[in-house]
A and B are shown apart, each in its own frame.
Chain A
């Protein structure tokens, strides 16, 4: 059987192209009538969060220069029920509610009366079900992603106590699988690295990580690394750059980031850059987008700041030190710059080994 993987060709980029990414994201934000912006309008709020966070990590938010416009959009997107939609005309959803709160936090505008925070809290509370799970919106889809969105949103607003935390966690734990220690989207679902991240984020923000088998799950997570250095989300799948975030952040929450090979993953991440346009794609040679651009930069941030200072060579040491000075440290749970989380003094549990 052939391993499902990609080949990292020597011609793929090796250096981190910071300015190109800044340019790519700035252009993307400006080009509001572009094909992609219109067809992807249904996730615009999250899109803004991806671009803004990526820019903040490389300290280039000034290039975006449309803060007031975005705050206005968020205001327009809050509905009577309190929830926030992806864009004007679309319906409120917990995914976009979290994105909006993250954007407001990054812009330090959470208390500027852009949105009615009490209503946001009421909305999130209204989505919690008897078994502790959360609906994504009033139409009843249940997913551990929404549990994370609810808990992360309320943590950022410092109002976590307003939901039933015990039942919320009991639902998250029902999504835990014994075969690999991972988490699926609902009780009984197969483990998936993205959902592992959501579950661990929820457990971290509520301080309940001791419930899980960190070694078993950590092993499953480091088994996601393929010979190319890239990470996949489930066994026997192709690598994808976004797992450089879901898997790495999960391992960092478990205190086991060093279980993957840093040099190999760095090579994979840099290979996913587009030298011409800037930005990152899911795999080397594919089309770039803001989603993968954020998770490429976020993955690099964890690898340079949190992996440790033992380098195999002088060259690696030089490369890492240089990157450390231009990419900010990211928080593994909330996927936002750590300095903001420190300022807000948000408590979370992180395991250490």
Chain B
């Protein structure tokens, strides 16, 4: 019922309309019933002409198309049968001719006759298919967005002997002239392009024509990006040679109408390909079926082992652990805990024994893993003097994915700046500049585009987290990210080694499950945020102290902290939490104010962290 305006009419008109509708409806229903009856009886005569007008009225009745396909296939097999018998007859005639004294003329004649006869049979089938194509064209004119009709047309084309691909492309041109965003038609066009193995350059030309006709045609820009990717991968062209020209095209488009988002998406894509150089790695990255270990952390004090992978799984990929003591090897069945809920990238376990050991071997014997594991067996020495040992295998890839900071030539950047000077309130140019030039633009974007303020705030937080991780002292167990306007935490897995984290004076609104990645955290300071609730799944296994002073929590909030099983003290000064809390809480709730300095003095950590 898309896009049908409700029109108010008089009672009389309404009645007339209703009667007319009911009449139509009855008629349609009778036709449909008849078609279904015929199909059941196998009485297919006239079925094509009976169902055609029904489909013209309602092209989405998929069963009627199925019925037609059955009839067409039946006809096709009859035709094939006929052709086969004719071929047999021909060869029979030929062999008879072989025996007979040779009469060149008569032989030629009978060959021709046979040929024209089989052509005729073949023609009958092609005519049937042609009619079918015509019916689909008429239906499409009525409803150009019917899945069934486009599929039927593709089916007919694949069933025909000699489909006319040129005509199909013309049909697409015609329908895209009527609606340049009709994705059904674009998909059909791609089907024809692949099926007929048409020239990719012609399609590139077509998208260029469509774009030049109207810059505001995202479908064309999109198709162009995917054609270039395909052509580059297939070696038809080197996209690096085309990048500059494409950039000029899109630059021209954004200067023509800076408020039109379609070319800006293409602009963003061009930047992401990094002058064309990244086009393949960019495409391959999503195809990767491999899971790999990024980091192993062993905390001696708590006897906690943590594994961090690049992908989530429902069980820890390493299902066997060998622990090497001085003179024996034990293989206890590992009790992994997920950092998040069902699926997690981070798994941790606590060893039950006190005895020191030399090494740990992790093995993956699980055959049902949804990914291929890079290392099915890994040995880690844990014989060390520090408190926490970190084995890092792969730097967090995600750090390269900062606000997608990309490079452009000087004059290209100058042009963008010039555009912003002309159109200071245009969000798109500010967004583009934020990814190239200066993150401060994100601040302006919150004012220019307030409905997406939470997105911009989170992206700013992401940058803050990246900067923090890049510059932090990796050997310190204490992390301080105060007053940086954080609204969320990115890359928590880079902070797993921390036992003390101060996030006070930020813009956090809730204690999200994303914080669960901080497995070794013992003291968490969140004073002066705007936290209104603590997520049901929030859980930090080592957490002993949490300070939530001056937030917006209410009396119900505290019970969700119960899942932190080692929690001893909660500071809650400056929230709307009443004194008389009836819920049973296994930790001490401190109402008095305490300064961050005092918290740090009391709970600061001096753990030694060592990297391998």
A-B contact pairs, 20 of them (CB 8 A): A1-B259, A38-B28, A90-B61, A137-B62, A139-B65, A173-B286, A178-B282, A185-B183, A190-B183, A207-B314, A210-B311, A210-B345, A212-B286, A213-B286, A213-B401, A256-B458, A258-B454, A309-B510, A347-B342, A353-B512
Closest partner residue, chain B, to A142 (CB atom): B151
**In the bound complex, how far is the Cα of B179 from the Cα of A238, in angstroms?**
14
Tell me whether B62 and A42 are in contact (CB under 8 A). yes
Tell me if A352 is interfacial: C-beta within 8 Å of chain B. Answer: yes
Q: Which A residues are in CB contact (< 8 Å) with B29?
A: 38
In the complex the two chains form, is A309's CB within 8 Å of B313's CB? no
Q: How far apart are the CA atoms of A235 and B180 in the complex, in Å? A: 13
- Which B residues are in CB contact (< 8 Å) with A188? 190, 194, 226, 230
Q: Which residue of B lies closest to A180 (CB)?
A: B265
B357 at the interface (CB under 8 A from A): no
Determine whether the beta carbon of A189 is less than 8 Å from that of B313. Answer: no
Contact B513 A173 (CB under 8 A): no
Stretch from A51-59, A68-76, A280-288 that touches the partner = A280-288
B260 contacts A by Cβ under 8 Å: yes
Is B601 on the interface with A (CB-CB < 8 A)? Answer: no
B245-294, CB < 8 A from A: 257, 259-262, 265-266, 268-269, 272, 282-283, 286-289
Distance, CA A350 to CA B155, complexed state (A): 38
| B222 touches A (CB below 8 Å) | yes
Identify whether the interface residues of B are mostly helix, strand, loop, or mixed.
helix
A interface: dominant SS = loop
When C-beta atoms are compared, the residue in chain A nearest to B29 turns out to be A38
Interface positions, chain A 73-121, Cβ under 8 Å from B, are 85, 89-91, 93
Asked whether any CB of chain B lies closer than 8 Å to the CB of A198, the reply is: no
Interface check A313, CB cutoff 8 A: no
**Given the contacts A237-B181, A347-B314, A348-B342, A190 and B219 also touching, CB distance less than 8 Å:** yes
B261 touches A210 (CB 8 A): no
Q: Are A235 and B262 in contact (CB under 8 A)?
A: yes
- Contacting residues of chain B (204-227) with chain A, CB-CB under 8 angstroms: 216, 218-219, 221-223, 225-226
Question: Is the Cβ of B4 less than 8 Å from the Cβ of A215?
Answer: no
Contact of A223 among B190, B272, B401, B452 (CB under 8 A): B452
> A169 near B: Cβ within 8 Å?
yes
Q: Which residues of B contact A210 (CB under 8 A)?
A: 310-312, 345
The interface bits of chain A over 29-57 (1 if a CB of B lies within 8 angstroms of the residue's CB, else 0) are 00000010011011100000000000000
Asked whether B265 lies within 8 Å of A179 as measured between CB atoms, the reply is: yes
Verify A352–B512 contact, CB threshold 8 A: yes
B462 at interface, CB cutoff 8 A: yes
Q: Which residue of A lies closest to B230 (CB)?
A: A188
The residue on A at minimum CB distance from B343 is A349
B530 and A139 contacting across the interface, CB-CB below 8 Å: no
A191 to B29, CA, bound (A): 37
Q: B370 contacts which of A165, A180, A350 (Cβ < 8 Å)? A: A165
A236-B218 in contact given A219-B455, A309-B532 (Cβ < 8 Å): yes
CB distance from B309 to the nearest CB of A (A): 9
In the complex the two chains form, is B262's CB within 8 Å of A236's CB?
Answer: yes
Give a binary string over B536-569; 1 marks a CB under 8 Å from any A CB, 0 the rest: 0000000000000000100000000000000000
Query: Taking beta carbons and an 8 Å cutoff, which residues of B are in contact with A?
Result: 1-6, 21-22, 24-25, 28-29, 32-33, 36, 58, 60-63, 65-66, 69, 147, 151, 155, 181, 183, 186-187, 190, 194, 216, 218-219, 221-223, 225-226, 229-230, 257, 259-262, 265-266, 268-269, 272, 282-283, 286-289, 310-314, 340-343, 345, 370, 401, 450-455, 458-459, 462, 488, 490, 509-510, 512-514, 530, 532-533, 535, 552
Measured CA separation A42–B257 after assembly (Å): 44
B342 lies within 8 A of A291 (CB): no
A62 within 8 A of B: no
In the complex, whether A234 has a CB less than 8 A from a CB of chain B is yes
Most chain B CB inside 10 Å of its own CB: which residue of A170, A264, A292, A308: A308
Measured CA separation A238–B312 after assembly (Å): 36
Tell me how far the C-beta of B563 lies from the nearest C-beta in chain A, rounded to whole angstroms: 15
C-alpha gap A169/B261 in the complex (Å): 31
Q: Is the CB of A235 within 8 A of B265?
A: yes
A129, CB-defined interface residue at 8 Å: no
Q: Answer yes or no: A186 CB below 8 A from chain B CBs.
A: yes
Chain A residues near B453 (CB-CB < 8 A): 261
A260 CB-CB contact with B under 8 Å: yes
**What distance in Å separates the Cβ of B425 from its nearest Cβ neighbour in chain A?**
14
- Chain B's nearest CB lies how many Å from the CB of A1? 5
Contact of A211 (CB < 8 Å), options: B222, B311, B510, B552:
B311
Q: How far is the CB of B323 from chain A (nearest CB, A)?
A: 29
Q: Is the CB of A308 within 8 A of B510?
A: yes
Contacts of B229 in A (CB 8 A): 178
B4 to chain A: which residues have CB within 8 Å? 286-287
A169 to B311, CA, bound (A): 14
Q: A179-B222, A206-B370, A349-B312 are in contact. Are A287 and B454 (CB under 8 A)?
A: no
Nearest Cβ in chain A — how far from B269, in angstroms? 4
**Which 9 A-B residue pairings sit nearest by Cβ, starting from the closest?**
A289-B1, A349-B343, A261-B451, A210-B311, A259-B455, A179-B269, A352-B513, A90-B63, A309-B532
* Contact code string A276-314 (vs B, CB < 8 Å = 1, else 0): 000001110111110110000000000000001110000
Closest partner residue, chain B, to A188 (CB atom): B190
Residue contact A287 to B1, C-beta cutoff 8 Å = yes
The number of chain A residues with a CB under 8 A from chain B is: 85
| Cβ contact within 8 Å between A282 and B3 | yes
A225 at interface, CB cutoff 8 A: yes
Q: In whole angstroms, how far apart are the Cα atoms of A310 and B507 in the complex?
A: 12
Q: B63 to A42, Cβ gap below 8 A? A: yes
Contacting residue for B6 out of A191, A260, A286, CB 8 A: A286
Decide if A23 is an interface residue (CB 8 Å cutoff). Answer: no
Contact present for B222 and A353 (CB under 8 Å): no
A332 at the binding interface (Cβ < 8 Å): no
Pair B1/A291 contact, Cβ less than 8 Å? yes
- Taking CB atoms and an 8 Å cut-off, the chain A residues in 167-194 that contact chain B are 169-170, 173, 176-180, 184-186, 188-192
A166 on the B face (CB < 8 A):
yes
On chain B, the residues within 8 Å of A166 by CB distance are 289, 370
Residues of B with C-beta under 8 A to A309: 510, 532-533
Question: Which B residues are CB-close (under 8 A) to A353?
Answer: 458, 488, 490, 512, 514
Q: Are A39 and B58 in contact (CB under 8 A)?
A: yes
CA distance A282 to B4 in the complex (A): 9
- In-complex Cβ contact of A184 among B5, B183, B286, B552 (8 A): B183
Residue of A nearest to B516 (CB): A352
> Of A42, A93, A282, which is within 8 A of B2 by CB?
A282
In A317-335, which residues have CB < 8 Å from any B CB?
A: none
Chain A residue nearest in CB terms to B148: A141
Contact between B3 and A178 (Cβ–Cβ < 8 Å)?
Answer: no
In the complex, what distance in Å separates the CA atom of A259 from the CA atom of B451?
8
Residue from B222, B282, B533 with most neighbouring chain A CB atoms (10 Å): B222
- The CA of A166 and the CA of B32, in the complex, are separated in Å by 41
B507, chain A: closest CB distance, angstroms = 10
List, in ascending order, chain B residues with CB within 8 A of A235's CB.
218, 261-262, 265
Q: Are A186 and B261 in contact (CB under 8 A)?
A: no
Interchain CA distance A350-B312 in the complex, whole Å: 11
- Roughly how many angstroms separate A206 CA and B286 CA in the complex, as a whole number? 16
Instruction: Say whether A211 contacts B286, CB under 8 Å.
Output: yes
Enumerate chain A residues within 8 angstroms of B1, measured Cβ to Cβ.
Answer: 281-282, 286-289, 291-292
Q: Is the CB of A222 within 8 A of B25?
A: no
- A1-23 to B contact mask, C-beta < 8 Å, 1/0: 10100000000000000000000
Contacts of A157 in B (CB 8 A): none
Bound-complex Cα distance A166 to B289 (A): 9
> Bound state CA distance, A227 and B186, in angstroms?
28
Pair A178/B261 contact, Cβ less than 8 Å: no
Contact of B222 among A35, A90, A190, A308 (CB under 8 A): A190
Q: How far is B174's CA from A140's CA once the two chains are assembled, in angstroms?
A: 26
Cβ A141 vs Cβ B532 within 8 A: no
Contacts of A89 in B (CB 8 A): 32-33, 36, 63
The answer to whether residues A189 and B342 also contact, given A1-B259, A286-B6 and a CB cut-off of 8 A, is no
Does A201 have its Cβ within 8 Å of any Cβ on chain B?
Answer: no
Is A207 a contact partner of B343 (Cβ separation < 8 A)?
yes
